[in-house]
Structure 1
Amino acid sequence: MRVWQWRAVLVVLIIVVADQWTKWLVVHSSLTQQSIELTPFLRLVYAENTGAAFSFLANVGDWGRWLLLAASFFICVILLVWLQRATRPIEITALILILGGAVGNVIDRVRQGYVVDFIDIHIGTYHWPAFNIADSAITVGAVVLVLVVFAGEKKDSE
């Protein structure tokens, strides 16, 4: 393994451990009974998400769980292959963030059949869907990856 690959494994492990640890804290706290207001726009809550992002496929039954689990494994394989071919550090970083988040949520789906979400951002009565550390890593990685891809396409067209 090359040095960057060892670092990638380390970052993925840090994301997974932070994600699982924070979820464990939430499950073993009073958040399962109540929410905690941290700021006027941020609360800690407890939510079981049986679906994908924004609870997509949440109410389709047990087959949805297996579909999401299979899709998650497939995406992890694609990310690993992409990582092997990636050359730009920013692209590698984005892929590592997405992979770490995906693994964190896969662990929940395998163990429990749902993902624990606990971060609730809101403005007034509008609430963003609850999310977790793994979702945050996936989102940041995806945004960076989109920017990298579009920046690469822009350079190619010039």
Structure 2
Amino acid sequence: MKCWKYMLLGAGLFGADQILKQMVERDDPERYPRKARHTGNLLKLYRNHNDGFPFGFLRNYPQIVKMIPLVMTSAAAGVLARVMSEKHATAADRTAWTLITAGGLSNLLDRLRKGYVVDYLSIDRKIVDKVVFNLGDVGVLLGNILTTVSVFVRDHRKAVDSASADQGELR
């Protein structure tokens, strides 16, 4: 089993997110928000400190805001370890849980060290322009989408195989 490529993916996502967060934190706050260069005005850069969950949810309960991500990220790491050790796990499953765990760890590190998560990106389009996120969030989102698609594909294949087997028995 070649887990090194997943470890590189996870380390790359975690490292890139942490580096971008540090760059934003060290930069002059007066420079934010601003358009991100080379994105065709699609992305906007922010310097947000999110001390709650999305949209500030539960910000007045800092212990809960630290403990829930700790539990969820620990669970994701456990699933990742299981998926990596399974002989028949798919690349999609391994990639998905790597993204979820690495993104979660990056945000968890912020919460534990600073008491908030640094968010720095927004898509500059009307429907989503109020949502500010970071690369770790993107990893968690993509990992969850990949997991969902993988489950649907697997279930569809089982249904097709079962239908084929039933057709074979009828003949």
TM range, normalised to the smaller chain? 0.7 to 0.9
| Deviation (angstroms), 1:117 | 0.3
Amino acid of the structure 2 residue aligned with 1:64:
I
Give TM-score scaled by structure 2 length: 0.78
Cα RMSD after superposing both structures: 2.2
Structure number with bigger Rg: 2
Structure-2 residue corresponding to 1:27: 25
Say which SS state the counterpart of residue 82 (structure 2) adopts.
Answer: helix
Mapping for residues 72-83 of structure 1, pairs under 5 Å:
72-83=73-84
Give TM-score scaled by structure 1 length: 0.84
Structure-2 residue corresponding to 1:8: 6
CA distance in 1, matches of 2:14, 2:133: 15
| Deviation (angstroms), 1:23 | 0.3
CA distance in 1, matches of 2:35, 2:84: 39
Greater fraction of residues in strand: 1
Mapping for residues 1-158 of structure 1, pairs under 5 Å:
2=1, 4-31=2-29, 34-38=32-36, 39-52=40-53, 54-55=54-55, 57-68=57-68, 69-85=70-86, 87-124=89-126, 127-158=129-160
The Cα offsets for residues 8-36 of structure 1, whole Å up to 9 and x where unpaired, read as 22221111110100000000112466311
Aligned 8 A contact 2:45 2:121 in 1 = yes
- Is the alpha carbon distance of 1:153 and 1:126 closer, same or farther for their aligned partners in structure 2, counting shifts above 3 Å? closer
Which runs of 5 or more residues in structure 1 are unaligned? none
Aligned 8 A contact 1:19 1:133 in 2 = yes
Identity, in percent, stands at 22
